[in-house]
Structure 1
């Protein structure tokens, strides 16, 4: 393999590893959880501000009612004292406060509707967040199991059965060849030894005569 091809392979492996890390399902789940928590925080802040506005409006209505009651008492007291001008002014302010009270109460109803909408949205987000937390635990468990199986399969794949069989066969052939060499050595070792004891020696006439007599007999 050329050096440039090897560099390209290494760079590709590094990039793929980086992408795999970026697409880690557990990291993705954690990121989604953080995003959901951020959205919950924003919704809670908005709801808090809305409740503050609602409470402030309710307090304004309470103050307006209190002013109306105060002007009513002032008008009655002025009438008792025969001060019609003061009574008239008190009654006029009371009417103004009544008109304001009507507007404030309408505004409060609109504010309450918005508050209810925000509460519903917040509750929906909270339910979704809780579901996400439960699902995160389940998915994390599944991811761990899948990753463990993947690692086992990856390790298993490094052991090639074919290579092992070929290796064993090759080793067996070497052993058979070694055994054949040993056997062949037994047959071919000192081939002249079989003739060593058959050297020709001198034979006497008596030995020859005796052997002839035996054959004749």
Structure 2
């Protein structure tokens, strides 16, 4: 295979790998999950602000009810003491506070309706997210099976091509050559080992004469001992 053809093959493999990564269904599902998690987080923050507004509106209602009750007591007390001007002023403020109280209550009902709607939407979003998570597990399993099957099919097809066949043949030849080199090495190593062993066991004439002389001396010593 020429160098330019190899570069082209490597380049195409990298491009196909990038495209496969972009079109990876599991990666797409994970991205959808992240987007939905962000939407849920936004919804939770919006709900927190909405609950804050609702609680604040409820506090305004309690405060205004307290003012209405206070002005009512002041008006009654002024009437008991014959202070009509003070009673009139207290009643006037009482009526103003009552109008504000009614307005606050209307606003409170509207805020509660918005809170309820936001909670329903958030619950629906969470339910959709949970369903998607379960579906993602199923789709991931199906995708893994399909991908494994595809790899097996691709491997089967690729091994039928001439280039791969020639590559396998070259690899086989290389392995056979390695095995032959090992066998040749064994053939040469065995006689050498035997020769070394034989050489190590060889006794020269000097060693043999020394041993004989030693035995003769021992014999002479034994005779001398007997004659004494």
TM-score, with structure 1 as normaliser: 0.69
Moved more, 115-124 or 50-59: 115-124
Please, which moves more after superposition, 6-15 or 28-37?
6-15
Which residue of 2 is the match for residue 62 of structure 1? 62
- Equivalent residue for 2:157? 157
Point out where structure 1 has 5 or more consecutive residues left out of the alignment.
165-217
Deviation of the 1:130 alpha carbon: 0.9
Distance, in Å, in 1 between the alignment partners of 2:143 and 2:16 is 19
Q: CA deviation at 1:161?
A: 10
Q: CA RMSD in A?
A: 2.2
Alignment match, 1:143: 143
> C-alpha distance in 2, partners of 1:80/1:88?
13
Aligned partners of 1:123 and 1:16: how far apart in 2?
Answer: 41
Partner of 2:85: 85
d(CA) in 1 for partners of 2:99, 2:34? 48
Q: Partner of 1:134 in structure 2? A: 134
Instruction: Return closer, same or farther for 1:160/1:4 CA change in 2, 3 Å cut-off.
Output: closer
More off after superposition, 97-106 vs 112-121: 112-121
Specify the alignment match of 1:27 in structure 2. Answer: 27
Q: Distance in 1 between matches of 2:72 and 2:102?
A: 17
Give secondary structure in 1 for the equivalent of 2:32.
helix
- Cα distance in 2 for residues equivalent to 1:81 and 1:8: 106
Write the distance in 2 (CA, Å) between the matches of 1:5 and 1:147.
Answer: 28
Q: What stretches of structure 2 of length at least 5 have no aligned partner?
A: 166-228
SS for the counterpart of 1:73 is helix
Instruction: Give the distance between the partners of 1:109 and 1:129, measured in 2 at CA.
Output: 30
Distance in 1 between residues matched to 2:150 and 2:7, nearest whole Å: 27
1:2 Cα deviation from its structure 2 partner: 5.5
Q: Taking structure 1 as reference, are residues 51 and 65 closer, same or farther at Cα in structure 2, changes over 3 Å only?
A: same
The higher radius of gyration belongs to 1
Q: What SS does the corresponding residue of 1:160 show, helix, strand or coil?
A: coil
Match of 1:120 in 2: 120
**1:92-107 counterparts in 2 under 5 A?**
92-107=92-107
Aligned to 1:42: 42
Supply the distance in 2 between the matched residues of 1:147 and 1:161 (Cα, whole angstroms).
Answer: 21
1:147, distance to aligned residue in structure 2 (A):
1.6
